Structure 1
Amino acid sequence: MNVLLLAGGLGTRLRPMTENMPKPMAPILNRPWLEHLILHLKEQGVHRFVIALKHHPEKIKNHFGDGRRLGVSIQYAMEEKLLGTAGAIKNAEPLLDDQFIAMNADIVHDIELKPLLDFHRSHGGKVTIGLTEVEDPSAYGVVEQDDTGRILRFVEKPRLDEAPSRRINAGIYVMEKNVLAVIPSDREVSIERETFPLLIRENMGVFGTTIQGYWADMGTKERYRQVHWDLLNGSGRIRIPGQAQDQGIWIGKGCKIGAGVLLVPPVLIGDHVKIGARAVIGPHVVLGDKCSIGPNVRLSETILWNGCRVNEGAYLNNCIFGYGLELGPRHILHEAVMNRLGVMQA
């Protein structure tokens, strides 16, 4: 079967980083998350993908093309207007197999598909929703299920003491294509508020099963940073690039690190990075490829995308810098999120 990757959202909660790029293209460990995801699914035998596009579609098309570079096949379903999750799936209908998987492409995870598929084929229903358990479900749509896994209802943002479970929609679905007949065409349709409740009322078989493995929403700057720290600290199976040095330090090829530099793990340094003398890098720092860090710079809890330059004596804490930004000497920034089109200072 093929997999539909839903990559058309605007990524508003991660702006300004996503002002001019789709959120799934934001780098995780110095590689666009969408590329990590495709390669992870390829390892599980998926070789045919459909990507639903809306926000800056050229960034995805130019990066992946037809998929041959990654050893897969990619087709695209373009949304002329925002359609919501169910609407985006409906829009891609002509490209989908009779049974297919759809998933939100901006969720960072390393789940195995086989248990999800086995469960779907065992119950004979039309939809299986991958579920994940969270400590506090009050910010989500929470599911109530019977003993067979059939979903009885969704409870939107319940109080903690009123939640029927701690299981929420993980944004991963196995679907029978004929169920798409209930989704209206050419308008925005919410899968949780409209499509799934309709299927439940019509007794068409909406089931859920808990996924295993790492799962995280990278939708805010806090969560985006936390995903990096989780992965650098050993959560998940997403490959960390570079050569492992001491515990918790990874360094790419062609790097030049000056005298007296202190690396405080966990730290990931990309390829061809220059770090000046007596800089202190870490803890929790990711430097993209071709970054240049001046002498006596101090970086902590910070992510710099490719091509950034931080000049002598600057100090960054809890910051995210987009591609190719430069910070002047002896500047001090705390909780700054910046790219070329905007700045958000906490």
Structure 2
Amino acid sequence: MKALLLAGGLGTRLRPLTEELPKPMAPVGNRPWLEHLVLQLKEQGIREFVIALKHYPEHIERHFGDGSRLGVSIEYTREEEALGTAGAIKLAEPLLGDTFLALNADVVQRIELLPLLEFHKERRAAVTIGLTEVEDPSQFGVVERTSAGRIHRFVEKPKRGEAPSRLINAGIYVMNRQALSFIPPGREVSIERETFPALIEAGQGVYGMPMRGYWLDMGTRDRYRQAHWDMLDRKLAIPLFGEERGKGIWVGNDCSVGSGALLIPPVLIGDRVRIGDRAVIGPYAVIGDDCRILGEARVSETILWDRCLVRQGARLHQCVFGYDAEIGSKHILFEAVVNRMKEAVSV
């Protein structure tokens, strides 16, 4: 079975980090989330992928190539204009089999897919939607379904207190090729507002199944940070690259930690990181590969992407810094989000 990974979104709510980067390529635990997703699906037996691209597609193509480096096969589609979720699936139709998986590639999740595939087969469904339960469904698409799991209505972003349930579309679909005939080609199509209602009206089987496991839409800066804190707390059980030196302290290869420096767990330190004398890292800090943190700097509840430089005595708290960012000596930054050398913006 092939998996179609929908990676063409603009990631506007995660800007400025995604101004020059596809959102699924934002690192989680010092590796692009999309790489985690491909390897996770490979563990579950998926080895053939189609990745739907639009925003800075060359970043993804260059990183993954044909997939052989990861032991999988990858093909690509490119949207010239925004097509929406259903439109992107339709564009990929020539590359897909009779039954396939489609996943929103910017959702951080750790979910077993076999029960969803078995549910789909047992119901002889045209589409089966993976569902997840959230505390506040007002920012998502909510479903109403029968006791057998058949969906009869979608409510898009209901007002607080008016949602018919707390089960939302998790952006994970099992689809049969027949369902694609309900998607008009060559234009933007919403899968929840157009495609699924059309399938339901035509009497096609659209089902939903609640899924167990970790799920988080990392579409905002707060949720992006939360995914990292859940990873450090091991609620999100993705691989951590590095040696665990004491409980909750992971350190990569070829790192140096200066005299009197303190690592307060949980922290994740990438490869070839240099930490100066009397620096304090953590709690809840993720430091990318090839970063340099000079003496007496303090970094807490902060994510640094690769090759960042934190100069002497700087103080960072609840920040996210993109690739190659540089923080001046004795600068004090709180809730800053910086893409490379661009000006910090408040969360």
TM-score bucket (shorter structure): over 0.9
Once the 2 structures are TM-superposed, how far is the Cα of residue 245 of structure 1 from its aligned partner?
A: 1.4
Q: How many residue pairs end up in the alignment?
A: 346
Matched, 1:327 2:330: no
Which residue in 1 is equivalent to 2:186? 186
| Matching of residues 1-346 of structure 1 within 5 Å | 1-340=1-340, 342-343=342-343, 344-346=345-347
Once the 2 structures are TM-superposed, how far is the Cα of residue 16 of structure 1 from its aligned partner?
A: 0.6
Residues in 1 aligned to 2:162 and 2:147: alpha-carbon distance in whole angstroms: 19
> Which deviates more from structure 2 when the two are superposed, residues 287-296 or residues 159-168?
159-168
Q: Which AA in structure 2 matches 1:136?
A: D
Output one character per residue of 1:105-142: Cα deviation in whole Å (capped at 9) or x when no partner: 00011111100000000001200000000011122211
Aligned residue for 2:238, secondary structure, equals: coil
* Contact preservation (8 Å) 2:321, 2:340: no
Instruction: Give TM-score scaled by structure 1 length.
Output: 0.98
Q: Tell me the C-alpha RMSD between the 2 structures.
A: 0.9
Residues in 2 aligned to 1:279 and 1:101: alpha-carbon distance in whole angstroms: 46
Output one character per residue of 1:251-295: Cα deviation in whole Å (capped at 9) or x when no partner: 001000001111111100000100001111111100000100000
Once the 2 structures are TM-superposed, how far is the Cα of residue 194 of structure 1 from its aligned partner?
A: 0.9
* Contact preservation (8 Å) 1:16, 1:341: no
Change (3 A) 1:342 1:199: farther
Instruction: Give TM-score scaled by structure 2 length.
Output: 0.98
Output one character per residue of 1:173-204: Cα deviation in whole Å (capped at 9) or x when no partner: 00001210110111100101111111111110
* Contact preservation (8 Å) 1:335, 1:345: yes
Output one character per residue of 1:41-82: Cα deviation in whole Å (capped at 9) or x when no partner: 001111100000000000000000000000000000111111
* Contact preservation (8 Å) 2:325, 2:341: no
Residues in 2 aligned to 1:341 and 1:168: alpha-carbon distance in whole angstroms: 38
Residues in 2 aligned to 1:159 and 1:309: alpha-carbon distance in whole angstroms: 44
Change (3 A) 1:324 1:19: same
Aligned residue for 1:59, secondary structure, equals: helix
* Contact preservation (8 Å) 1:116, 1:209: yes
Instruction: Return 5+ residue gaps in structure 1 as ranges.
Output: none
Aligned residue for 1:46, secondary structure, equals: coil
